[in-house]
Structure 1
Amino acid sequence: LEIDRYEKLEGMITIFFSKAVDEPAFSFLYAKLCKQFQKKQVTVPGDDGKLITHYFRQILLTRCQKEFENDYRQEIEYEKRKAEVETLTDDKKRKDEAEKLEEDLVKAKRRKLGNIFFIGELFKLQMLTDTIMYDCIEYLLRDKSDEESIECLCRLLRTIGKELDGKALEKTVNKTNLEKHYRELDGIIKEQKTSARIRFMIQDLMELRQVS
């Protein structure tokens, strides 16, 4: 596949990313495709005429970070729209807008989780650093009553937990952070404010970590 322009390189990443996020069950396949193309690069003239080399891997990392930040911005926008809907005086319009808002939220959450799973698969293939993974973990632990996020975190840690533990041995700060996050999960079990299904899921994760 000839990639001779920046637009082609970026377009390829957009396709891989969109497919992986829309089809999270196959995110590992799209991550492997990214791995195959990670050394792709294009060199093009910049605005000043000097040649600039763009690397597939760096563009991919930037895209992951932007998507992650965009998920956070969408949540803020949702709260803003929710407040606006609540001020509507027309009952029918308020009901219609509330339903549309809920549909948008479901889509946004699905995309957010797909994004995180894809990032996890890329991390497993050593295409991303552990820094962005800790950002994902902290993001998912912000609201410990959000069972969807906690379930996502458990699934993510089942996928990348072993790799995170291995890398944590190299950095004291990472080991400290990782242990803190597992203690937070343990706290969710003890507080018993979530469903039994979620608590059992966390317990299974803890036991898997012990035997690994």
Structure 2
Amino acid sequence: MSGNGFDRAPGAGRGRGGGAPLAPESGPRMGGGGGAGHHQEPLRPPKTAPPPARTPAASEQARVTSLSENNCSSSAMTKPKVIMAPTSISKLSVNAPEFYPSGYTPDFTDSSSEDGSGGYPTLTEYVQDFLNHLAEQPACFETEIAHFSETLNGSVTTDEALQELVELIYQQATSVPNFSYMGARLCNYLSHHLTINPQCGNFRQLLLLRCHKEFENRNEAAKGDEAARKRFHAFVLFLAELYLNLEIKGTKGQLTRAEILQTGLQELLHTLFSNPVDNNLTCAVKLLKLTGSVLEDAWKEKGTSHMNEIIQKIENVVLDANCSRDVKHMLLKLVELRSSNWGRVHITSTYREATPENDPNYFMNEPTFYTSEGVPFTAADPDYQEKYQELLDRQDLFHECEENGTDLSGTGDLYFDDDDDDDEMDPEIEEAYEKFCLESERKRKQ
């Protein structure tokens, strides 16, 4: 067909603006003897029906342009031939997955799931949503952590995914206020329940490596600007929570704390006190209030005096450092807290374990009795138990006789509880009482 022939490709002849298709200047010539003015009659629609379900792409491909009807200029025209449009059968399916061009990242939002577009959140979005949920509702940790861990076991299958998970939790724990404790609990749970163990290390090892990376920059961060120190202090407090909550199995299967974190906290305290500005000192006080008792117990077991050295640094800061009065008062309160054993009260033995041999106050709350000769005897006396039991028996007998109206004087008369007799007073006693009242009134008026 010549170059002026009708292009039957879908969408041919349409302008860039998407307007109506343009009609060809002249239709194809019919037969060999047709004149130049003869034109083609309008095309009929295809006999095959379009697919029952049309996607936008299929509808576009199925559109066939038609030619407008033109009046014939010659009556001697032969009977025109009808040219059928080619049948277009679409292979597209409404159930096909969504197509995204290369370099395009789909935006999965809640609305995409609601309108049925089939979008699913990525691993990063799923983890971040769960972390935000825990920050808003911490009580959900116990009920939802198991399902979260199972989902991660099915999704985190590569080294890159595991490293991304560690980074997400670390950023949440050091950037969201008051999330350091929840982040440490989450890290402890995942360190025991994530099954992936890649070549680069398991979850706990990658977490400690991430903390070590921040630990190496401690000196620069403590001397940096306000924003750098704020990030550094958040890391310090998160590391303290990890020391208290992260459990590691020992050689005998027992759960212990990570000793490397204990060493790291000691170095961080030294860094904070070596740069005695107000917010560094405040961070050190928070750290010691949180972990001071645990650190001192661990250091005492090793026979070291690291806590005494820290207290000495605090006293030197109070005397020499150019910090505010409130911070100095806070440091002094911390020293006082440590002198009271961090506010803990140690009891040598419980009540059930106390014996006369190991508790000098064993008999302190027992009553003291006196014999008929006026000699006192207590629970420490050998015959105390027997005499005390005899006294209790007499007391029970006395109450029993009172209830039954028995005469305890031995005269054989019954004892009656007569309210009228109780109200009457002996005449001599009554006279003496009246005299006493008059004398008291006279002295009061004087």
* TM-score, length of structure 2 as denominator length: 0.37
Cα distance, 1:116–1:191 mapped onto 2, change above 3 Å: same
Q: How large is the Cα RMSD of the aligned pairs?
A: 2.1
> Which one of the candidate residues 281, 297, 302 is aligned to 1:150?
281
Deviation at 1:56, TM superposition (A): 1.2
Q: Distance in 2 between matches of 1:195 and 1:72?
A: 22
Q: Could you tell me which residue of structure 1 aligns to residue 187 of structure 2? A: 34
Q: Distance in 2 between matches of 1:41 and 1:210?
A: 45
Conservation of the 8 A alpha-carbon contact between 1:140 and 1:149: yes
Cα distance, 1:205–1:73 mapped onto 2, change above 3 Å: closer
Q: Are residue 111 (structure 1) and residue 265 (structure 2) matched? A: no
Question: Quick one: which amino acid aligns to residue 20 of structure 1?
Answer: A
Cα distance, 1:137–1:41 mapped onto 2, change above 3 Å: farther
Conservation of the 8 A alpha-carbon contact between 1:19 and 1:30: yes
> Which one of the candidate residues 188, 195, 207 is aligned to 2:324?
195
Q: Secondary structure at the match of 1:113?
A: helix
> Which one of the candidate residues 331, 338, 342 is aligned to 1:209?
338
Deviation at 1:71, TM superposition (A): 4.2
Q: Could you tell me which residue of structure 2 aligns to residue 183 of structure 1? A: 312
Q: Distance in 2 between matches of 1:166 and 1:179?
A: 12
After superposition, residues 63-212 of structure 1 pair within 5 angstroms as 63-73=210-220, 105-127=225-247, 128-129=258-259, 130-144=262-276, 146-172=277-303, 175-191=304-320, 193-211=322-340, 212=342
Q: Which runs of 5+ in 2 are unaligned?
A: 1-151, 248-257, 343-446
Q: Distance in 2 between matches of 1:75 and 1:29?
A: 25
* Alignment deviations for residues 63-83 of structure 1 (CA, whole Å, 9 cap, x no partner): 11101213435678x6xxxxx
Question: Quick one: which amino acid aligns to residue 204 of structure 2?
Answer: R
Matched residues, number: 175
Deviation at 1:110, TM superposition (A): 1.0
Question: Quick one: which amino acid aligns to residue 113 of structure 1?
Answer: H
Question: Quick one: which amino acid aligns to residue 61 of structure 1?
Answer: L
Conservation of the 8 A alpha-carbon contact between 1:41 and 1:53: no
Question: Quick one: which amino acid aligns to residue 183 of structure 1?
Answer: Q
Question: Quick one: which amino acid aligns to residue 14 of structure 1?
Answer: E
Q: Secondary structure at the match of 2:274?
A: coil
Q: Could you tell me which residue of structure 1 aligns to residue 203 of structure 2? A: 56
Q: Distance in 1 between matches of 2:210 and 2:160?
A: 14
* Alignment deviations for residues 143-171 of structure 1 (CA, whole Å, 9 cap, x no partner): 23x12111110011001111101111122
Q: Which of 1 and 2 has higher RCO (CA within 8 Å, sep 6+)?
A: 1
Conservation of the 8 A alpha-carbon contact between 1:24 and 1:118: no
Q: Which runs of 5+ in 1 are unaligned?
A: 45-51, 79-104
Q: Secondary structure at the match of 2:295?
A: helix
Q: Secondary structure at the match of 1:42?
A: coil
Q: Secondary structure at the match of 1:58?
A: helix
Q: Distance in 1 between matches of 2:195 and 2:275?
A: 40
Cα distance, 1:138–1:41 mapped onto 2, change above 3 Å: farther
* Alignment deviations for residues 92-130 of structure 1 (CA, whole Å, 9 cap, x no partner): xxxxxxxxxxxxx22211111111010011011145421
* TM-score, length of structure 1 as denominator length: 0.74
Q: Are residue 9 (structure 1) and residue 168 (structure 2) matched? A: no
Q: Distance in 2 between matches of 1:75 and 1:205?
A: 21
Conservation of the 8 A alpha-carbon contact between 1:23 and 1:114: no
Cα distance, 1:41–1:210 mapped onto 2, change above 3 Å: farther
Q: More helix per residue: 1 or 2?
A: 1
Q: Distance in 2 between matches of 1:135 and 1:159?
A: 16
Question: Quick one: which amino acid aligns to residue 43 of structure 1?
Answer: N
Question: Quick one: which amino acid aligns to residue 197 of structure 2?
Answer: T
